[in-house]
Amino acid sequence: MKNPGRTDILLSAAAPALTVFFFVPFSLYLTNRQMFFAAPFNLALLLLSVSACVCLLLAFPVLLLKGKARARLFSLYAFLGAALWAQAYLLNWDYGLLDGSPLRWRLFELRSLVDVAVWAILFGYVAVRGAQKNASLRGLFLLLLFMQSGSLAYNWMAGRTNALGGRAREYAVTFQDQFTFSIEKNVVVLVLDAYQTDFFNRYIKENPDYRDRLPGFTYYPNALAEYHFTNNSIPSLLTGNYLIKSALPPGKRLRHYRSDFLKEHSLPALLKGAGYHVGVYPYYAHHVYTPAIFGEIADNYQPTREFARNESNEFAGLLAVALFRITPHPLKKKVHERFLSGIAFEQDRDEFLHYMQRQSRVGISQPTLRYY
């Protein structure tokens, strides 16, 4: 192999750095957009900044070395770039939900053979290629970066239909004070999204003692949602009005009318105007409660710069899952135990109860609305 120049060295460092710290985590973010509150541009900028720092750290020792030592370290980076890409995109096995619960590793033992074989083949390819005179690996680096850029662009375009516009980019959601209540007055709304009435009726019939656990509640067994999906049911729930297309103003699209109606006439908007501290905490269908609608209503929808200073869970979680994804199977168990094992919640209600029991407190002087 001919002595690699600065451009080749930077490319050799950029390929693994961008794969681990930008392409894989940001692709995870885009394909699971409804699970995150962080603004995409801020997250992309943060990931790119980390990738740039790692790239420079990797390139610096190669630039200092000369001769065979430089060529060997350069070849090692080439191998890592190719192997990490293959593991992340070609050997992306399904391990189930990474929610902190234990994984059944015995069911996945054959994957070790496949992963190790692919890594060995790539190592052999880079070694043979590097031994050839006047060989160049620049094409390999450019190909890896091009394929990942194309995949990322596709995921970005595919998610544009659910992208938030306008002021949505300026806000993100924090759950920091979700169980902090007022010393004066509290309005609490619990929405059992996707929970069918017939199942609840059956449960009450089979467990009559459950009624005793809900003193003071009024149950309406014949209550119906306006629509069969969440997006159009929430406006009627929060405003008490139906969204009838025939009643729309001329030239007004339903989604624009729905957004304007929620911003002006919803329960959170009205109580905000009455001096309440408003918190909107969606555990389900995050995309329905967009910052474009609730950004200037809910107090827990904060400017993204302030959110980035106070909250790093999403960023750390993305990097942990990305690390799990780019790690070959023989090492995945250690990565999972170190970074992804924790409290496992079977359902959103379990997560809600867990944190409510530990975080509930009184600490706000003004009356509050808590919408879960």
Better pLDDT: 41 or 152: 152
Q: Is the pLDDT of residue 212 over 80?
A: yes
SS3 205: helix
pLDDT on residue 163: 45
Confidence at 350, pLDDT banded by 50, 70, 90: confident
Query: Long-range contacts: 341-345, Cβ < 8 Å, 24+?
Result: 341/100, 341/102, 342/100, 343/100, 344/99, 344/100, 344/101, 344/102, 345/99, 345/100
Better pLDDT: 307 or 297: 297
Identity of residue 265:
H
Confidence at 170, pLDDT banded by 50, 70, 90: low
CA distance 131 to 327: 27
Q: Is the pLDDT of residue 251 over 80?
A: no
CA distance 353 to 362: 17
pLDDT on residue 168: 47
Tell me the range of 32-46, 176-190, 255-269 where mean pLDDT is highest. 176-190
Confidence at 33, pLDDT banded by 50, 70, 90: confident
Percent share of the chain, pLDDT over 70 = 90
Confidence at 310, pLDDT banded by 50, 70, 90: very low
Q: Where are the beta strands (DSSP E) in 183-276?
A: 186-189
Better pLDDT: 96 or 328: 328
CA distance 21 to 29: 12
Tell me the range of 97-101, 218-222, 303-307 where mean pLDDT is highest. 218-222
Which residue in 256, 246, 318 sits closest to 293, CA to CA? 256
**Which H/E stretch holds residue 154?**
helix 138-158
How is the beta sheet containing 186-189 ordered, strand by strand?
186-189, 368-371, 277-280
The pTM score is 0.68
Q: What value does the mean pLDDT take over residues 267-272?
A: 97
Q: What value does the mean pLDDT take over residues 323-347?
A: 87
Read off the pLDDT of residues 45-97 as tens digits, 9 standing for 90 and up: 999 999 999 999 999 999 999 988 999 999 999 999 999 999 999 999 999 87
